Amino acid sequence: MIYENVELHNVAEILPMPDVDGVRLQRVPESVRVELNPGAQMRALQPDNAEIRFVSEGITRVTVSSEGSTDVMLFHGAFDGRERFTITREPRTIQVHPAAVHVQRLDAAYWRDHPFAPNVRRLILGGRRRDPLILHGVEGDGVRPPEPDELPSLRYLAYGTSITHGFDAEGPHLTYVGQTAWHLGADLINLGFGGSAHCEAAIADHIATRGDWHVASLALSVNMQGFSMDEFYRRVFYMVDTVAGQNPDRPIACITLYPYFRDFGIEDASAQYGGTPEEYRQALRDAVAASSHPNLHLIEGPEILTDIRGLTHDLIHPGDHGMIEMGRNLAGKLKILNATHHK
């Protein structure tokens, strides 16, 4: 999305906030958000892997505030700017300086194959603190949105739970989908909904009708372990069949449940379960088989997260080691699917 003199990436809609003279960024349109469950409605406002992007000639001043507290990190193209900011309710102006002189002097031969040109300044949102962000304005000399040839040509969309959303990763670039995008050289569209990825028809229809992605992964979905097996199957079948059916030229990978504590013989006495982890995995296998679209593929979650040491101590959310392994493994599979699909 182009907004005034910048690009807002992984932002589907902005809502004017006249009381504070700014716009709130959200990852799905409001018309879709209000059709989701209450948890997902709230998560859709969290800006994980959303970015404020621009090219400029000198110091640029970006004024933002948060509806609570939001982490922001700076990248220059693919290069980590090493600057981290925590935005609170009081508007703050971030002064974004040009990249270090070594990057400015780097011959194009070393970066022309990078997905991002190094002159693209990227304020990446989300992390440990991920409350909704409000953009008040961007000022500076020669500020403009990036050109298409300064950005990745491949766009990767990911739907899933808090694991996709990025919970427990140290930063949005270290989520498994962030790592997958890194290995693919792709732009990431993160549609993770922590604790609330319930595969509603509204989000399935939204993904199916978006025209801005080339390959997708759908992690379906440990958040639905309280659903009956019949309801789980009905929802995941609608999602995978709808997304694949309306996008025959785009490969879609459906990922079964990643390993978690129930796979290790541990039950949560306070939780309601409609089936075992393996039954949920089998239901997704059956849904993919029943859909039979040639661009629809199944990936087993335990083949992506293979080492229990990659989990945090809750034995469900991966830490950084797990996220890195998952990103590497998933990217390898998606590369094969994408190459095979476009022969």
What DSSP string runs through 127-157? EEEE--EEEEEEEETT-BPPPGGGS-SEEEE
Pairing assessment for the beta strands 215-219 and 60-66 based on DSSP bridges: unpaired
Quote the pLDDT of residue 343. 64
314-324 pLDDT, tens digit each: 999 999 999 99
Quote the pLDDT of residue 129. 92
94-131 pLDDT, tens digit each: 999 999 999 999 999 999 999 999 999 999 999 899 99
Same-fold call for 2-150 versus 154-341: no
Look up the CATH superfamily of 154-341. Answer: SGNH hydrolase (3.40.50.1110)
Taking residues 214-224, report their average pLDDT: 97
Match domain 2-150 to its CATH number in 1.10.1060, 1.25.40, 1.10.620, 2.60.120: 2.60.120
Pairing assessment for the beta strands 186-192 and 215-219 based on DSSP bridges: unpaired
279-329 pLDDT, tens digit each: 999 999 999 999 989 999 999 999 999 999 999 999 999 999 999 999 999
32-55 pLDDT, tens digit each: 999 999 999 999 999 999 999 999
Quickly tell me which residue has 């679209």 as its tokens: 293
Q: Per-domain residue ranges for the chain?
A: 2-150, 154-341
